[in-house]
């Protein structure tokens, strides 16, 4: 049973996102789900690829493709709408 939903906003920084997800996924915890809330931009294909690859390779990762860039506060609000666990954290 999941106890923690964790949110990460992404915006045009694929290397930082890759490192963040790698560090999280090294943990052996199975009671968490990581939402990657993607704020789109015109030149973010590398970031999208990082998200797609991680989602395909770890069932704990869920991509949330926001239709427009809603910024940090908008991504936090979307996490609050989407999360279903007792605890919620945001990086």
| 81 CA to centre of own chain | 14
Strand (E) or helix (H) holding 30: none
The predicted pLDDT at position 27 comes to 85
What is the predicted pLDDT for the residue at 65? Answer: 96
Q: pLDDT 10s per residue in the chain (91 long)?
A: 788 999 999 998 999 999 999 999 898 888 899 999 999 988 889 999 999 999 999 999 999 999 999 999 999 999 999 999 989 999 8
Buried b (16+ CB within 10 A) or exposed e, 16-25: ebbebbeebe
Q: How far apart are CA 73 and CA 53, in angstroms?
A: 26
Using DSSP's 3-state secondary structure scheme, residue 66 falls into: coil
| Pair of tokens at residue 60 | 């704990």
In angstroms, the Cα distances linking 67 to 28, 41, 60, 87 are 32, 10, 22, 26
């Amino acid at each position: 049973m999941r106890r923690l939903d964790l949110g990460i906003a992404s915006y045009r920084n694929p290397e930082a996102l890759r490192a963040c997800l790698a560090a999280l996924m090294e943990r052996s915890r199975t009671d968490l789900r990581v939402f990657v809330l993607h704020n789109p931009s015109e030149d973010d294909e590398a970031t999208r690829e990082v998200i797609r690859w991680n989602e395909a390779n770890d069932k704990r990762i869920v991509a949330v493709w926001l239709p427009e860039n809603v910024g940090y506060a908008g991504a936090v609000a979307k996490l609050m709408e989407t999360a279903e666990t007792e605890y919620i954290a945001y990086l």
